[in-house]
């Protein structure tokens, strides 16, 4: 490369970098890219549109009996949060049975059935009284967990991301808009493995309800449209093996089924 073309190349790169910097935050709708990265979307019931997922937040130990089984005190300590990567979503269509691969590294793979709230707006320091205005709709999801890895990391006081935030760790059904199902503050939530009931509780047994979850989360993170919140699991989490079939339910939503393969 001669000196002149080197300068031209540099100038082009410089302009490109400047153009990148001039974009408002990371809000660019489109940009020329050297390759494509797929977005994450969840189907919306009653619509040909899909819900674009920005972040996945999860609430830990949000049912008293589950907090006890995990070895903690279920008094109203502030809720705690973790995230899964957006592309941990596995879309599951109701009425069928989706294959769910048993993940690597674990010998103790657990189900956690959870109500999921999907937001169409957000903010910082949202009051509980205003929080439900942020909810676009609800779904039924599973916070799949490599329990042995989560526990081992916790025991060593290391982040337990490897136990929670791996590929396909967030199976989810389609999103039901609030306009169709209202706000979900009570109703049965259960999970069966091979037809046998393992988890069974009521949404009204959450320590922190969805409005309070949004309020508390928004004190720590600026919530935005596209964020979804897994609201915690009831007691009696447990393991599955290859060949097991999971069926889960929340009143007014269609059941979801997974086959562990």
44/214 with CB nearer Mn ion = 214
DSSP string, 178-224: HHHH----S-EEEEEETTEEEEEEEGGGBSS-HHHHHHHHHHHS-B-
Closest by CA to 83, choosing from 158, 166, 152, 175, is 166
> With CB under 5 A, what is the number of residues at the site for Mn ion?
3
- Rounded to a whole number of angstroms, the minimum distance from the CB of residue 241 to Mn ion is 20
Residues numbered 230 to 249 that lie near Mn ion (CB under 5 A) are 233
Nearest to Mn ion of 143, 227 (CB atom): 143
CB of 136 to Mn ion, least distance (A): 21
CA torsion angle 132 138 140 143 (round to 10): -50
Beta carbons within 8 Å of 21's beta carbon, 6+ residues apart: none
Return the number of the residue (70 or 225) whose C-beta is nearest Mn ion.
70
Convert residues 187-226 into a mask of x (bound to Mn ion by CB under 5 A) and - (unbound). ----------------------------------------
Stretch of 78-86, 112-120, 166-174, 190-198 lying at the interface with Mn ion (CB under 5 A): 112-120
Burial class, 135, CB count within 10 angstroms (exposed 0-12 / middle 13-18 / buried 19+)? buried
Q: Work out how close the CB of 29 gets to Mn ion at its nearest, in angstroms, rounded to a whole number.
A: 33
Q: Looking at beta carbons only, is 127 or 204 nearer to Mn ion?
A: 204
- The DSSP letter of residue 132 is G
Is 261:149 a contact under the CB 8 Å cutoff? no
Q: Scanning residues 138 to 167, which ones bind Mn ion (CB under 5 A)?
A: 143
Interface segment toward Mn ion; rule CB under 5 A; list 148-156, 206-214, 220-228, 229-237: 229-237
Does residue number 61 form part of the binding site for Mn ion (CB under 5 A)? Answer: no
Under rule CB under 5 A, residue 112 binds Mn ion: yes
Residue 211 near residue 223, CB atoms below 8 Å:
no
What is the number of the residue whose Cβ is closest to Mn ion? 143
Stretch that binds Mn ion, among 10-18, 34-42, 136-144, 155-163 (CB under 5 A): 136-144
Whether residue 82 contacts residue 164, with contact meaning beta carbons closer than 8 Å, is answered with yes
Torsion of CA 233, 201, 258, 145, to 10 degrees: 20
The residues binding Mn ion (CB under 5 A) are 112, 143, 233
């Amino acid at each position: 490369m001669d000196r002149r073309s080197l300068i031209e190349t540099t100038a082009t790169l410089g302009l490109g970098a400047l153009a990148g910097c001039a974009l408002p935050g990371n809000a660019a709708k489109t940009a020329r890219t050297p390759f494509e990265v797929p977005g994450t979307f969840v189907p919306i019931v009653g619509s040909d549109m899909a819900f674009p997922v920005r972040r996945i937040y999860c609430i830990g130990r949000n049912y008293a009996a589950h907090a006890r089984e995990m070895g903690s005190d279920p008094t109203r300590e502030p809720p705690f949060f973790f995230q899964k990567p957006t592309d941990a979503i596995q879309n599951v269509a109701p009425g069928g049975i989706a294959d769910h691969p048993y993940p690597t590294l674990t010998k103790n793979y657990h189900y956690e059935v959870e109500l999921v709230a999907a937001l169409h707006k957000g903010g910082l320091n949202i009051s509980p009284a205003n929080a439900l205005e942020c909810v676009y709709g609800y779904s039924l999801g599973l916070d799949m967990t490599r329990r042995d890895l989560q526990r081992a990391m916790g025991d060593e006081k290391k982040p337990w991301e490897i136990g929670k935030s791996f590929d396909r760790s967030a199976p989810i059904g389609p999103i039901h808009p609030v306009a169709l199902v209202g706000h979900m503050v009570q109703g049965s939530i259960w999970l069966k493995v091979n037809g046998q009931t393992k988890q069974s509780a009521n949404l009204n047994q959450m320590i922190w309800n969805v409005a309070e979850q949004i309020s508390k989360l928004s004190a720590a993170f600026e919530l935005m449209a596209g964020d979804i919140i897994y609201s915690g699991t009831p007691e009696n989490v447990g393991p599955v093996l290859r060949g097991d079939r999971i069926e889960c339910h929340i009143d007014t939503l269609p059941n979801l089924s997974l086959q562990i393969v």
